[in-house]
Chains A and B, each alone.
Chain A
Amino acid sequence: NAGVTQTPKFRILKIGQSMTLQCTQDMNHNYMYWYRQDPGMGLKLIYYSVGAGITDKGEVPNGYNVSRSTTEDFPLRLELAAPSQTSVYFCASIRDREFSSGNTIYFGEGSWLTVV
């Protein structure tokens, strides 16, 4: 049971390039999330998904796209990378929408992205 796995861990992009951050969870969680965290700041929700085939915007969706074709995978796509997208990206998942004993949010280890 690997939990939430993100790849790549580090990446340098040039302005205008595109890339996909991969996120996979093996816990059969329905809910998945992408956050970005700028230095010294809190987590900002980019996109989230409540199940396969269903995604919705979070607080800061501009410049990003997501898809959820399977329960396990929730990739984040950056189109036309900009320096403002330099950040740490975290993927997270939770089993279902309601808390019950032991139902907690699991985070990946993060992906460090620099746009130059």
Chain B
Amino acid sequence: LAKTTQPISMDSYEGQEVNITCSHNNIATNDYITWYQQFPSQGPRFIIQGYKTKVTNEVASLFIPADRKSSTLSLPRVSLSDTAVYYCLVGGGPFSGGYNKLIFGAGTRLAVHP
């Protein structure tokens, strides 16, 4: 699994757009990029997944540049309920070892203030 680097913490205010960037310099050709969200006292849950360019769903967008060495999770107009830890996970490609040993990084603690 590719090693990832994220900011330890971020602060924002309600209504703002939040962008969290993850670096993954040794991403393999077939690896996917997935982001998970974890609220206190809960297990992480899937937010969004992508391979290249841009992916958008009802809660977030994922921007992946052409070299794929980083990715940015974008949360539009955050609310207090978006306060959580966000994890970037890279891997799962057919020739990258898949998810045999699924190790999460430290994640990014996002605090949204009124």
Residues of A within 8 A of B101 (CB): 45, 48, 56, 58
- How many chain B residues touch A (Cβ–Cβ < 8 Å)? 28
Shortest beta-carbon distance from B20 to chain A in Å: 15
- How many chain A residues touch B (Cβ–Cβ < 8 Å)? 27
Task: Report B26-74 residues with CB < 8 Å from chain A CB.
Answer: 32, 34, 36, 41-46, 49
For B100, give its contact among A43, A50, A104, A107 (CB under 8 Å). A50
Assess whether A31 is in contact with B99, with CB atoms less than 8 Å apart.
yes
Assess whether B103 is in contact with A58, with CB atoms less than 8 Å apart.
yes
Assess whether B44 is in contact with A107, with CB atoms less than 8 Å apart.
yes
Q: Show the binding face of A for B, using Cβ within 8 Å.
A: 31, 33, 35, 41-43, 45, 48, 50, 56, 58-59, 88, 90, 92, 94, 96-99, 103-105, 107-110
